[in-house]
Amino acid sequence: MSLRLGDIAPNFKAKTTQGDIDFYEYLGDSWGVLFSHPADYTPVCTTELGRTALLKDEFAKRNVKVLALSVDPLDKHLGWINDINETQNCEVNFPIIADEDKTVANLYGMIHPNASETFTVRSLFVIGPDKKVKLTITYPASTGRNFFEVLRVIDSLQLTAQYSVATPANWQEGEDVIVVPAVKTEDIPAKFPKGHKIIKPYLRTTPQPNK
């Protein structure tokens, strides 16, 4: 199964390092980040889960709940967490799903047979409160993910869900944004009272409206 943007993220029940969960119940009204890693006790994954744990407050202030997944068993996850905490100077405090039968991996298309027939690749899904897929990113096993980029995209997703704007290349929180083409130029002052610039008729910018 290949999930695309706008698809409903499948619900599932799973065993995790923080007990049995129902995915939808776990998310509640929050945003979610679900990401897979190829295997426990592997070096790149150790740094990824450590970085995620260290960014706990950043995810929390964005109302984002995080879950990780691999096809290794629960006892292996629990032992590995000790190594992650020790080597990355963190405390892993989010659930890691034990997906031994690959149920969740198959639901979300996390196994790419041409890369590996048995292990999940580095898939990441951002899921909105409406349970729809808002972002998918897939990295090869050899490349660790940039979780600051994940946070940047979540900032953009949450902003553009609330206002009629888009974010330009390399945008960071607090920078000017683009007024979407559906908004007529004459309507911009009422919608965006902080002011705007007309660079081209199709390219209008305004200060970030919620700052």
Answer yes or no: do 172 and 133 share one domain.
no
Q: Look up the CATH number of the domain holding residue 65.
A: 3.40.30.10
Active site residue 90: no
| Residues 66, 113 within the same domain | yes
Active-site option among 45, 68, 90, 110: 45
pLDDT tens digit at each of 211 positions of the chain: 578 999 999 999 999 999 999 999 999 999 999 999 888 999 999 999 999 999 999 999 999 999 999 889 999 999 999 999 999 999 999 999 999 888 998 899 887 655 555 556 689 999 999 999 999 999 888 899 999 999 999 999 999 999 999 999 999 999 999 999 999 999 999 999 999 999 999 999 999 999 8
Q: Is the dihedral of CA 77, 83, 86, 87 positive or negative?
A: negative
Number of domains making up the chain: 2
CATH number reported for the structural domain that contains residue 175 in this entry: 3.30.1020.10
Residue 92 sits in which domain range? 13-145
Expressed in percent and rounded to 5, the helix, strand and coil fractions of the chain are 30, 25, 45
Half-sphere exposure of 15 (CA within 13 A, CB side): 13
Domain assignment present for 98: yes
β-bridge mates for residue 41, sequence order: none
Q: Are 45 and 137 in a shared domain? A: yes
Judge if 130 and 168 occupy the same domain: no
Question: Phi/psi zone of residue 109: left (φ > 0), alpha (ψ -120 to 50 degrees), beta?
Answer: left
What tokens were used for 153?
Answer: 């995209």
Q: Are residues 174 and 120 in the same domain?
A: no
Looking at the structure, do residues 131 and 175 belong to the same domain, yes or no? no
* Same domain flag for 25 and 110: yes
